[in-house]
Amino acid sequence: MSKARAAVVAAAASVMVATTVLAGQAFAEADQASPAAQAARAQALADGTPCSVGARSCVDLESQQAWLIDQGKVVRGPVKISSGGNGAKTPVGHSLRVYRKEADYKSTESRLPNGDPAPMPWSVFFEDGGIAFHAGNPQRSSAGCIHLEPADAKAWFDFLQVGDQIQVVKGSEERAAREAAGQAGGEPAESSASDDE
């Protein structure tokens, strides 16, 4: 084998090793929970929900249910919802925040068959991209928002205030993450280390 070809093979092997190491690091980092998820999982679960007591509203994308929570206690729910579909999934998040409320919002992205903006009554926005709780058909997927029956949407609008924490999770993943961290029912795991360390 010529020296030039040997150099090319050696360089390619180095790139493959570096890529494999970096990919392994990326996968390891992806497996680590975000600081917001870790903080949420350090709190107890609100009874009957997959969310922590610090949330003011909880959404479980798996069961397609939502709850309102006040000081760790469920005050409404579970109620039926529908979340995003058809390539417009509702984002998961442990520390989403209400940033705007608009009772008679009309969408600039979704349109009625006649071309008019689609109504989104009782909108409570909590994520970039116009993701909100609002009145809509809970039997039909949304473009990322959380559809609620009109009475539920009004209750969410009246209850939630700007700055309130929203958690949108997948229930089975939350339970698995808490079990893996050694948390029973969301209580922080006991430490076997002494306080002197």
- Residue 52's pLDDT is 96
Pairing of strands 57-60, 165-169: parallel
CATH architecture of 36-180: Beta Barrel (2.40)
Q: Are 68 and 79 in contact (CB under 8 A)?
A: no
Q: Are 4 and 149 in contact (CB under 8 A)?
A: no
**Can you say how many angstroms the Cα of residue 47 is from the centroid of all Cα atoms in its chain?**
19
| Domain chopping of the chain, boundaries | 3-32, 36-180
Maximum distance among all alpha carbons in the chain?
Answer: 77
Average model confidence (pLDDT) across the chain: 81
Residue range 29-44, pLDDT digits in tens: 334 578 999 999 999 9
Sign of CA pseudo-dihedral 71, 72, 73, 74: positive
Measured CA distances, 48 to 73, 95, 147 (Å)? 9, 19, 21
Is pTM beyond 0.85? Reply is: no
Percent of the chain with pLDDT over 90: 57
pLDDT-derived band of residue 94, with 50, 70 and 90 as boundaries? very high
Residue range 118-134, pLDDT digits in tens: 899 999 999 988 899 99
Give the three-class secondary structure for 75.
Answer: strand
- Residue 17's pLDDT is 38
Please say if the pLDDT value at position 51 is more than 60: yes
- Residue 1's pLDDT is 56
- What does the alpha-carbon distance between residue 40 and residue 35 come to, in Å, rounded to a whole number? 9
- Residue 26's pLDDT is 33
3-17, 39-53, 111-125: least confidently modelled range: 3-17
- Residue 129's pLDDT is 85
- What does the alpha-carbon distance between residue 57 and residue 55 come to, in Å, rounded to a whole number? 5
- Residue 82's pLDDT is 95
The phi and psi torsions of 123 (rounded to 5 degrees) equal: -75, 130
